[in-house]
């Protein structure tokens, strides 16, 4: 009695796996890979930068501009 191993089926794609973008050059060498964590990190950085810009704008609007102090001494030599 021969026992054959059953043919392995194709692996099923899980919808929760995410995505991966692989970029290749003209010579078919892998240049870089973009994974979901890269996208989330980029969006998090954009949101954090926007938050800092809005806070900076609000603080700059509330703080009065600094004027230089008038000189306490008059210049010793004045030219006409």
Task: Tell me the pLDDT of the chain (80 aa) as tens digits.
Answer: 556 666 666 566 565 667 888 999 999 999 989 888 888 999 999 999 999 999 999 998 888 888 888 877 766 776 76
The pLDDT value recorded for residue 11 is 60
CA pair distance 30, 20, nearest whole angstrom: 13
CA pair distance 15, 64, nearest whole angstrom: 55
The pLDDT value recorded for residue 7 is 63
Q: Are strands 21-24 and 30-34 parallel, antiparallel or unpaired?
A: antiparallel
């Amino acid at each position: 009695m021969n026992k054959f191993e059953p043919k392995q089926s194709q692996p099923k794609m899980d919808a929760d796996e995410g995505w991966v973008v692989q970029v290749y050059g003209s010579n078919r060498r892998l240049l870089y890979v973009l994974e979901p964590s890269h996208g989330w990190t980029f969006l998090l950085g954009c949101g954090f930068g926007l938050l800092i810009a809005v806070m900076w704008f609000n603080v700059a609007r509330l703080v009065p501009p600094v004027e230089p102090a008038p000189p306490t001494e008059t210049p010793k030599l004045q030219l006409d």
